Chain A
Amino acid sequence: MLRDHYVFSNGRLNRKHNTIYYTDDQQKQTPLPVEKIRNLHVFGEVDLNTKLLNYVSQFDICLHIYNYYGFYAGTYYPREKTSVSGFLIIKQAEHYSDRHRRVYLASRFLEGGVHHMLRNLRRHKVENEESMYLIQKEYNKSQEALDIQTLMGHEGVIRKHYYQAFAQMLKQDFSFERREKRPPRDPLNALFSFGNTLMYRTVLSEIYRTTLNPTISYLHEPSTKRFSLSLDIAEIFKPLVVDQVILSLINRKTITKKHFDVLDHEICFLNDEGKKRFIRAWEDRLETTVKHRQLKRNTSYRYLVRLECYKLIKHLLGDDVYKPLKAWW
Chain B
Amino acid sequence: MEHESDRVLEGKILHEESYPRLQEREVLIDNAFKMDHIDGKYVREVKMSSKMQESDHLQMLFYLYQLELRGVQKRGLISYTKEKKTVEVILDNDERAKVKRAIAQAYRVIEQAKPPVVKKLPYCKSCAYFGFCYVREADEYAT
Contact = CB atoms under 8 A, between A and B. Distances in A.
Contacts of A102: none
Interface stretch (A171-179, A212-220, A315-323): A315-323
A294 B3 contact: no
A263 B27 CA distance: 60
Contacts of B135: 292, 294-295, 307, 310-311, 314
Contacts of A326: 137, 143
A118 B131 contact: no
Contacts of B143: 115, 118, 326
A283 interface: no
A239 interface: no
A325 B114 contact: no
Interface string B37-62: 00000000000000000000000000
Nearest to A82: B3
A150 to B, nearest CB: 22
Nearest to B137: A323
A292 B130 CA distance: 13
Contacts of A2: 4
B138 interface: yes
* Interface residue SS majority, chain B: loop
Given A81-B3, A115-B143, A118-B143, A294 B115 contact: no
A306 B132 CA distance: 9
A60 interface: yes
Contact of A310 (B115, B131, B142): B131
B135 to A, nearest CB: 5
Contacts of A329: none
Interface string A67-108: 000000000000001100000000000000000000000000
B110 to A, nearest CB: 12
A294 B138 contact: yes
Contacts of B130: 295
Given A115-B143, A310-B132, A319-B114, A324 B137 contact: yes
A194 to B, nearest CB: 28
Nearest to A81: B3
B132 to A, nearest CB: 5
A303 interface: yes
A69 B9 CA distance: 39
Q: Quick one: which of B131, B132, B134, B137 has the most chain A CB within 10 A?
A: B137
A293 interface: yes
A324 B143 CA distance: 12
B85 interface: no
Interface string B1-21: 001100000000000000000
Interface string B122-143: 0000000011101111100011
B112 to A, nearest CB: 11
B114 A311 contact: no
Contacts of B142: 328
Interface string A130-157: 0000000000000000000000000000
A317 B112 CA distance: 12
Given A319-B114, A319-B115, A326-B137, A303 B131 contact: yes
B114 A317 contact: yes
B43 to A, nearest CB: 26
Interface centre among B4, B130, B135, B143 (most CB of A within 10 A): B135
Contacts of B3: 60, 81-82, 209
Which of A2, A82, A319 is the most central at the interface, judged by chain B CB atoms within 10 Å of its CB? A319
A324 B131 CA distance: 16
11 contacts: A81-B3, A209-B3, A209-B4, A294-B138, A295-B130, A310-B131, A310-B135, A313-B132, A314-B132, A324-B137, A328-B142
Give the 10 A-B residue pairs with the shortest CB-CB distance, closest first.
A323-B137, A307-B135, A310-B132, A310-B135, A294-B136, A295-B134, A318-B114, A311-B135, A293-B138, A319-B115
Given A293-B138, A294-B138, A311-B137, 12 more contacts: A292-B135, A294-B134, A303-B131, A306-B131, A307-B135, A310-B131, A310-B135, A314-B132, A319-B114, A323-B137, A324-B137, A326-B143
